[in-house]
Structure 1
Amino acid sequence: MEIFFMPISNFENLLKSLQAESLFDFIITANNFTPLDLSIHNDELKTVNISSSNDLEQFIWKHITAHNAKVAYGGYLELRGIYQRSIYFNQQNTELERNIHLGLDLWIEAETPIFAPLEGSIHSFKNNTNYGDYGPALILKHDISNFTFYTLYGHLSLDSITQIKVGAEVKQGEQIATLGTAEVNGDYPPHLHFQILKDIQDYEGDYPGVCNKADLEFYQLNCPDPNLLLKL
Structure 2
Amino acid sequence: MALSSFEELLKSLQAHPLIHPNVSHNAYVPLDLSINNKELALVDVSSSKALESYIWNHLKNNKSKVAFGGYLEHRGIYNRSDYFNKAKPEEKRNIHLGLDLWIEASTVIYTPLNGKIHSFKNNTNYGDYGPTIILEHGIEGEIFYTLYGHLSLDSISNIEKGVEVKQGDPIATLGTAEVNGDYAPHLHFQIIKDIQNYKGDYPGVSNQLDVEFYKSNCPDPNLLLKLGDKAI
Question: Which band: TM-score by shorter chain?
Answer: over 0.9
Ranges in structure 1 where 5+ consecutive residues have no aligned partner: 1-6
Q: CA deviation at 1:32?
A: 1.2
Same amino acid, percent of matched pairs: 67
Structure 1 residue aligned with 2:112, among 113, 117, 136? 117
1:214 aligned counterpart, secondary structure: coil
Deviations along 1:179-232, whole A, 9 cap, x unmatched?
000000000000000000000000000000001000001000000000000001
Q: CA deviation at 1:109?
A: 0.3
Aligned to 2:38: 43
One-letter amino acid of the structure 1 residue matched with residue 78 of structure 2: Y
User: After superposition, where does 1:99-114 map in structure 2 within 5 Å?
Assistant: 99-114=94-109
Structure 2 residue aligned with 1:24, among 19, 26, 35? 19
Partners in 2 of 1:208 and 1:8 — Cα distance? 23
Aligned to 2:173: 178
Structure 2 residue aligned with 1:153, among 148, 160, 163? 148
Aligned to 1:11: 6
1:225 aligned counterpart, secondary structure: coil
User: After superposition, where does 1:15-94 map in structure 2 within 5 Å?
Assistant: 15-27=10-22, 29-94=24-89
Q: CA deviation at 1:26?
A: 2.6
Partners in 1 of 2:65 and 2:3 — Cα distance? 32
Q: CA deviation at 1:24?
A: 1.0
Structure 1 residue aligned with 2:202, among 172, 183, 207? 207
2:167 aligned counterpart, secondary structure: coil
One-letter amino acid of the structure 1 residue matched with residue 11 of structure 2: K
Aligned to 2:230: none
The farther-off stretch of 95-104 and 26-35 is 26-35
Structure 2 residue aligned with 1:196, among 191, 196, 200? 191
Q: CA deviation at 1:8?
A: 6.1
Partners in 1 of 2:23 and 2:196 — Cα distance? 31
Aligned to 2:138: 143
Aligned to 2:224: 229
Q: CA deviation at 1:125?
A: 0.1
4+ runs of 1 displaced by more than 6 Å? none
Q: CA deviation at 1:29?
A: 3.5
Partners in 2 of 1:98 and 1:8 — Cα distance? 26
Q: CA deviation at 1:172?
A: 0.2
Q: TM-score, normalised by structure 2?
A: 0.96
Number of matched pairs: 226
2:209 aligned counterpart, secondary structure: helix
One-letter amino acid of the structure 2 residue matched with residue 54 of structure 1: K
